[in-house]
Amino acid sequence: MAQQSTLPHSRLGRFAKLGGLATSLAGNVLYQGSKTLLSGNKPVIADLVLSSKNANKIAEKLSEMRGAAMKVGQLLSMDVGYLLPREVSEVFSRLRNDAHQMPMMQIAEVMEKNLGSNWQSHFQRFKFTPIASASIGQVHIAELKEGRQVAIKLQYPGVKESIDSDIDNIAMLLNLFKMIPADVDIAPLIEDARLQLHAEADYKSEAAFLNEFSRFIENDDRFEVAEVIEELSNDKILTTTFLDGEVIDKLYNKNLDVRHNVTSNLLELSLREVFQFGIVQTDSNFANYLYSENTGKIQLLDFGATRRYSELMRNKFMVLLNACLSSDKQAILESAYEIGYTSEDDNKNYQDAIVDLILTVTMPIRHEGEFDFRHSQLSQLMTDKLMKLRFEQRYTRLPPTDILFLHRKLGGLYLLLSHLGANLNVNQLVRHTLT
């Protein structure tokens, strides 16, 4: 059963939560350190900070707070998890799960604040138990007076106003307990998290992206996007028509034809987002894709993490992709420099390692015939190469933010294709989509 807790929504209240966490961690470190000394051993601070007790406390408190505190942990896990000590990465990975839920009274307060004291008059039914909860808000099902089912995304109170202070406080906590290696500069990621969270906390912006994306696919009967109910939406509440498909990762037991159509359509859509639409829904959480067995359509959810890519940047991606298709290492190196993977100060060994990494990532597009995602060792190969790059080449520089978000999109897509047992002629699909 999901945990419920009232969300602290004042800056002081949220600071007190993190301050209490810091005090608790310090107390545990002091206690465990004293025990280790008394046993005749020299304590290692990193081990004390990341003890099982402290790790559970960190994950639980950030999940309870939601908002930026939880989101920063999620981003660190996804974007630089391979650069962090294993214990730290595991703590942050736990934050990808559902957040605590608001209790009923706080839900009612949020609804009243956004839709007025007579908010219940809009609905025949409103289900107080959310169907999903995450770092920024939670989703409820309701039925309008005229009978339509809708999904209502409620933003947690105070989250938007506390983003900047939460970011600063969580960065201070990470530095205070030296949870990030000294040679890993996460400042750019922290600042981007700040900008991204402000964007995700603006539900009007998400509604605009949802409407824009809907126009891109309006003549494509393979996909479906929910319709925004404008009169019941604002910057902190988003109401849309309810999409009733099942979460797409459950299709692993469907017949081969269904899985082939779904996976090939998803891959094609991702390519079109990057190279044609110029707007990319970068959160590839499995729960953001549904499949309707009644219509055969893929239903697309959650456009809060959508990013816009300029024509110039899309052209740079295209140049890199073509270089990868032809295995042209010099062209890949030049393109990697243009995009920001490398700099003119990098030595040849580092540059060669980056080119090798890019070639590994793009292995499926050069494969002749169908690529077997389920039985491929590509994921493990990628991990091995990243770790080798990290420790042998001192790889600590993060690529540009736009690239990190694409990594997240493509990494999630690869995991989904693997989970569904996709066998796709990726080379053919890429060439067809981009011509």
| Cβ burial, residue 406 (10 Å; 0-12/13-18/19+) | buried
Q: Is the dihedral of CA 311, 210, 286, 70 positive or negative?
A: positive
Beta bridge mates, 299: 224, 290
| Alpha-carbon gap, residue 232 to 285, rounded angstroms | 26
Express each pLDDT in 23-34 by its tens digit.
454 444 443 444
pLDDT band at 172 (very low <50, low <70, confident <90, very high): confident
Q: Is the dihedral of CA 245, 250, 255, 256 positive or negative?
A: positive
| Alpha-carbon gap, residue 236 to 157, rounded angstroms | 9
Backbone torsions φ then ψ of 370, nearest 5 degrees: -80, 135
Which contiguous run of DSSP H or E holds residue 395? none
- Residue 342: C-alpha distances to residues 216, 336, 389 (Å): 34, 6, 13
pLDDT band at 69 (very low <50, low <70, confident <90, very high): low
Read off the pLDDT of each residue in 313-334 and give the average, rounded to a whole number.
94
235 catalytic? Reply is: no
User: Residue 408: what pLDDT?
Assistant: 80
Higher pLDDT, 174 or 285: 285
Q: Catalytic residue among 79, 166, 192, 283, which? A: 283
Beta bridge mates, 263: none
CB 330 within 8 A of CB 313: no
Express each pLDDT in 281-299 by its tens digit.
988 778 889 999 999 999 9
* Domain boundaries, given as residue ranges, for the chain: 11-96+166-182, 103-155+202-242, 244-435
Residue spans of alpha helices (H) in 340-425: 348-361, 363-366, 378-392, 401-419
Question: Buried b vs exposed e over 157-183: b needs ≥16 C-beta within 10 Å?
Answer: bbbbebbebbbebbbebbeebebbbee
Which residues, 6+ apart, have CB-to-CB distance to 222 below 8 Å?
265, 296, 297, 298
Express each pLDDT in 391-426 by its tens digit.
555 555 667 778 878 888 888 888 889 989 999 999
pLDDT band at 182 (very low <50, low <70, confident <90, very high): low
Which contiguous run of DSSP H or E holds residue 114? helix 104-115
Tokens of 224: 């479906």
Express each pLDDT in 76-112 by its tens digit.
655 555 555 565 556 555 555 555 678 899 999 999 9
pLDDT of 209 above 50: yes
On whether the 103-155+202-242 domain is CATH 1.10.3470, my answer is: no
Express each pLDDT in 333-377 by its tens digit.
999 999 988 888 888 888 888 899 899 989 999 999 999 998 888
pTM: 0.78
Express each pLDDT in 242-268 by its tens digit.
999 998 988 888 888 999 999 999 999
pLDDT of 216 above 70: yes
| Alpha-carbon gap, residue 298 to 3, rounded angstroms | 31
Q: Which amino acid is at 7?
A: L
- A 10 A CB-CB count for 79 gives 21
pLDDT of 225 above 80: yes
SS3 241: strand
